[in-house]
Amino acid sequence: MSSVMAAKVKAKRVAQLIARGKRLDGRGLNDYREIQIESGLIERAEGSARVRLGKTEVLVGVKIEMGEPFTDTPNEGVLTVNAELVPLASPTFEAGPPDENSIELARVVDRGIRESKTIPTDDLVIEPGKKVFVVFVDVYVLNHDGNLIDASALAALAALLNTKMFNYEVKEGEVKIKPGYKPLPLRDYPIAVTFAKINDQLIVDPWLEEEQAMDARLTMAIEKDGKICAMQKGGYGTFTTQQIIEASKIAQQKATELRALVVKE
């Protein structure tokens, strides 16, 4: 139960350290916290993974169901990303309909997957304009210690890599599910890299106390060939163009490191 004053003192301490190139938890400015990835914990889900990023903990479950395509994309399956800031994850989370933080989290994760065309939506059509597969990616935050975006995007990718698609055949307009599963083929492996700006200095993977001290936040989603497929700036502060270019270079390097932890090729 930290008071407003205590939070200010902590923020000042975080900023002072960063000015000297140090961080409260001893990391370098461009270091991630320790990452642990476990796949396939939820048998009920078609795919699942849990990521621990330091003390931040996110579980993602993927469900695949049949549904209708959007009218403007009759020849494509549907991707839906949803995020729940479950109240057991933090004293500041409350039960209830999604607030702006969980909506932003879901949409940033969604954008990385969607814009990199990771999901082969054209392969998920059963009957054009009528019946397609819907891929639900549900992000479940279990412990909030900062940088939910990167942890969630990583868990989403790990869960999609672990996702099994059922075999089916279409007979006279009826879909018959056949026994057995095959992996959901993915076309890309997007990785989100998030920066915080504190004292005019960029750091990667801010943890909670750094998030509380940051002026602004910047996330970049990087495709496997190094292209940037999504970006999101958050917070009240600003960035210079140099800072953003610097960030994109670091992001590409970090994305390669993180990708190697999930994608075993």
Footprint on this chain of other proteins (rule: CB under 8 A): 1, 26, 41-46, 48, 55, 57, 59, 61-63, 65, 82, 84, 86-91, 95, 97, 136, 138, 140, 142-145, 164, 166, 177, 181
- Minimum distance from residue 96 beta carbon to other proteins (Å): 9
Q: How many C-beta atoms lie closer than 10 Å to residue 88's C-beta? A: 10
Cβ closest to other proteins, residue 5 vs residue 95: 95
- Minimum distance from residue 102 beta carbon to other proteins (Å): 10
- Minimum distance from residue 245 beta carbon to other proteins (Å): 32
Paired residues of 62 in beta bridges = 47, 137
Cβ closest to other proteins, residue 101 vs residue 243: 101
The full length of the chain comes to: 265
Cα-Cα-Cα-Cα dihedral sign, residues 115, 31, 104, 102:
positive
Token pair of 86 as six digits: 């479950």
- Minimum distance from residue 98 beta carbon to other proteins (Å): 8
Cβ closest to other proteins, residue 57 vs residue 223: 57
Cβ–Cβ under 8 Å, residues 175 and 131: yes
- Minimum distance from residue 184 beta carbon to other proteins (Å): 13
- Minimum distance from residue 21 beta carbon to other proteins (Å): 13
Task: Put residue 180 in one of left, alpha, beta given phi > 0 → left and psi -120 to 50 → alpha.
Answer: left
Cα-Cα-Cα-Cα dihedral sign, residues 113, 118, 119, 120:
positive
Cβ closest to other proteins, residue 89 vs residue 247: 89
The pairing of beta strand 201-204 with beta strand 216-222: unpaired
Q: Residue type for 150, please?
A: D
Cβ closest to other proteins, residue 21 vs residue 226: 21
Place of tokens 């210079």: 240
Cβ closest to other proteins, residue 182 vs residue 249: 182
Token pair of 155 as six digits: 């868990």
Nearest to 23 by CA among 210, 248, 199, 167: 210
DSSP at 253: H
- How far apart, in whole angstroms, are the C-alpha atoms of residue 136 and residue 156? 10
- Minimum distance from residue 143 beta carbon to other proteins (Å): 5
Cβ closest to other proteins, residue 166 vs residue 246: 166
